[in-house]
Chains A and B, each alone.
Chain A
Amino acid sequence: EVQLVQSGAEVKKPGESLKISCKGSGYSFTSYWIGWVRQMPGKGLEWMGIIYPGDSDTRYSPSFQGQVTISADKSISTAYLQWSSLKASDTAMYYCARHGRQYYDDDAFDIWGQGTMVTVSS
């Protein structure tokens, strides 16, 4: 079964760092782009960026460039989303999702992780 399993919910204070993960299984992890999507409480979906685990080629939305870092460790089939200094406005559900076709960076997300809730509060 193709699946993405994300790390658990996090509660952090403003200014703290955080790295959440997304582990892929059941498919060739290095051949499919993986992306991250933010959903703030009660709001819509926001595309953050994507990474190709095969060579770590990464694309960011201008809204998130410089605010987060997307990375991947292909040896353990895991993608990451990290913050160096969290803000209260980073409170949201974060989903990882996989592109539907191998190699294509222009594609829809066909497989989604279960989501990781990040709460940033003093």
Chain B
Amino acid sequence: DIQMTQSPSSLSASVGDRVTITCRASQGISNYLAWYQQKPGKVPKLLIYAASTLQSGVPSRFSGSGSGTDFTLTISSLQPEDVATYYCQKYNSALRAFGQGTKVEIK
């Protein structure tokens, strides 16, 4: 099985800070990676697919990068409405697993 490991599991940052979340695959997955945002009590929302393509309607402060085994989600300037848990997901092959999530809070 290809495992997806996110880090950190949680973080606290100030409004306006640059925030980076990492997702590592145990084997190469090319660019078959998505990032989702789930606000408390809400439905998950697709932010980024194909590792770096911004989903329509998602603010440009969100960006993704990486290929192979190492991927990052960056929020260039953290806003109060970005408080959420963020999940990566690989979607190639038979096992389309999610990472364990990264909880982002405002300091």
Binding site for B on A (CB under 8 A): 35, 37, 44-47, 50, 59, 61-62, 95, 97, 100, 106-110, 112-115
Contacts and interface: CB of A to CB of B under 8 A. Distances in A.
Interface in B75-101: 85, 87, 89, 91-101
Given A44-B101, A108-B34, A109-B36, 7 more contacts: A45-B101, A61-B95, A106-B92, A108-B49, A109-B34, A109-B44, A112-B44
Contacts of A113: 43
Contacts of B93: 106
Prevailing SS type, chain A contact patch: strand
Contact of B45 (A50, A62, A112, A115): A112
B54 interface: no
- Dominant SS at the B interface? loop
Contacts of B50: 108
B67 interface: no
A100 B46 contact: yes
Contacts of B46: 100, 108-110
Contacts of B101: 44-45
Interface residues of B, number: 26
A19 B12 CA distance: 40
B22 interface: no
Interface string B33-58: 01010100001111001100001000
B32 A106 contact: yes
A78 B36 CA distance: 24
A45 B36 contact: yes
A52 to B, nearest CB: 14
- 5 pairs of A and B residues whose beta carbons are closest in the complex: A108-B34, A108-B49, A45-B98, A44-B101, A47-B96
A106 B44 contact: no
Contact of A108 (B85, B91, B94): B91
A33 B95 CA distance: 15
A61 B98 CA distance: 12
